[in-house]
């Protein structure tokens, strides 16, 4: 397997953008990635596009081709990847495999989603399909409901507090206020979070990530080719994906796919969790980020609440998490989130994140989940990048 480098990255603005469709969102992100890579678009040989809700906006079949055409890119193989909220992570992984295998020299891994302007009811029904719709979603299972139950159980088992949950949202909103591409740019207080509309007890509105529109793109190539374009390549040290087991005895305060995927990713990269300088995690709800701290090995089981409370995951702390603002602040356009996490990690490792820059960042981790079924995560992706 060849060493693979992230040569170029690009993102659109994230947020509610009713005036833009996938064509406009994708064109912005892909153009930015090409400019960043300083590579001729004719060099691109294959593309993978993460996308989830196409059936709701009438552009279900060929989102990648639609976006690439706007930049004059045709003929090459373009594959759509759909795996729930982790779709873009899997598209990125396939782009990495295409280059690492030697079959292609330059590949695009991208993700895109249009969630606003499609009707709240339709979106909520589609989100119900993120589970086993026949056995769970059709009976009323919702993601806020699931994570509310997880939060209550974690609080019962480990003493996690409402204040600690709220501190995750406060941190990520603060980080998002420093990110020009973030959906939410205003900071919030613990009191703001506690007094917000209740969604599923104990989670109020600000404990939950928003609906978003957006696109993110990464251009991958070999180490040898990258030398022609940059003197500071960002390498893909490992990229691992796992699915759930769906057994009846699962502990809902831990996600086994995350534990297993991260353990394998660390092994392949030749490092441990103590070597990670920053991480982007799937903080769809505040309790999720706390559990990810534990599952990724940043602290012991049950100590995630204390990790946020003692400031370890703040920018400037021992292990900054969700420096982009995360899903809670940057936004969560389903099909785009996984590559947006890669964009943040690459910017940080390049030292170009401005006021949210992590000091001396050399190794970063991106973690994304997709779907939830029978008390378990359907898909999990963990990717480690290094300078």
Q: Which residues does the annotation mark as catalytic?
A: 85, 332
Alpha-carbon span 56 to 123, nearest angstrom: 8
Does residue 34 contact residue 68 with C-beta atoms inside 8 Å? Answer: no
Does residue 170 contact residue 202 with C-beta atoms inside 8 Å? Answer: no
Closest CA to 366 of 215, 265, 268, 290: 265
Alpha-carbon span 127 to 120, nearest angstrom: 10
Quickly list DSSP for 162-174.
HHHHHHHHHHHHH
Other Cβ atoms within 10 Å of 1 Cβ, number: 9
Alpha-carbon span 63 to 51, nearest angstrom: 7
Alpha-carbon span 292 to 35, nearest angstrom: 34
Phi, psi of 316 (to 5 degrees): 100, -10
Can you give 178-203 as a three-state secondary structure string? CCCCCCCCCCCCHHHHHCCCEEECCE
Burial of 316: CB neighbours in 10 Å, binned 0-12, 13-18, 19+: exposed
Structure tokens, 9 = 């990255």
Q: Is the C-alpha dihedral spanning 18, 187, 338, 221 positive or negative?
A: positive
Alpha-carbon span 67 to 343, nearest angstrom: 18
Does residue 218 contact residue 343 with C-beta atoms inside 8 Å? Answer: yes
Other Cβ atoms within 10 Å of 45 Cβ, number: 17
Alpha-carbon span 384 to 372, nearest angstrom: 24
């Amino acid at each position: 397997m060849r060493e693979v480098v992230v040569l170029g990255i690009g993102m659109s603005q994230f947020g509610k953008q009713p005036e833009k469709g996938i064509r406009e969102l994708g064109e912005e992100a892909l153009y930015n990635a090409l400019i960043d890579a300083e590579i001729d678009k004719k060099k691109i040989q294959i593309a993978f596009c993460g996308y989830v809700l196409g059936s709701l906006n009438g552009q279900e079949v060929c989102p990648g081709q639609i976006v690439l055409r706007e930049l004059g890119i045709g003929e090459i193989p373009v594959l759509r990847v759909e795996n729930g909220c982790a779709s873009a992570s899997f598209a990125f992984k396939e782009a990495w495999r295409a280059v690492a295998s030697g079959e292609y020299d330059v590949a695009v891994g991208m993700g895109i989603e249009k969630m606003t302007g499609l009707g709240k009811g339709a979106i909520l029904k589609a989100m119900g399909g993120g589970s086993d719709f026949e056995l769970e979603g059709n009976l009323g299972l919702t993601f806020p409901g699931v994570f509310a139950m997880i939060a209550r159980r974690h609080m019962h088992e480990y003493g996690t507090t409402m204040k600690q949950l709220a501190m995750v949202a406060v941190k990520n909103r603060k980080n998002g206020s420093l990110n020009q591409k973030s959906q939410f740019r205003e900071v919030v207080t613990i009191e703001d979070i506690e007094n917000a509309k209740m969604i599923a007890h104990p989670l109020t509105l600000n404990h939950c990530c928003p609906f978003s529109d957006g696109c993110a793109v990464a251009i991958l190539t070999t180490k040898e080719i990258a030398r022609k374009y940059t003197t500071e390549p960002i390498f893909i040290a490992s990229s691992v994906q796992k699915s759930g087991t769906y057994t009846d005895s699962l502990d809902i305060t831990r996600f086994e796919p995350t534990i297993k995927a991260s353990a394998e990713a660390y092994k392949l990269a030749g490092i441990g969790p103590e070597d990670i300088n920053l991480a982007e995690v799937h903080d769809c709800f505040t309790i999720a980020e706390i559990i990810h701290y534990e599952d990724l090995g940043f602290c012991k089981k049950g100590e995630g609440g204390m990790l946020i409370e003692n400031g370890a995951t703040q920018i400037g702390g021992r292990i900054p998490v969700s420096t982009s603002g995360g899903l809670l602040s940057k936004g969560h356009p389903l099909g785009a989130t996984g590559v947006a996490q890669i964009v943040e990690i690459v910017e940080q490792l390049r030292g170009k994140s401005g006021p949210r820059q992590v000091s001396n960042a050399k190794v970063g981790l991106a973690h994304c989940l997709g779907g939830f079924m029978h008390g378990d995560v359907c898909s999990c992706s963990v990717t480690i990048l290094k300078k």
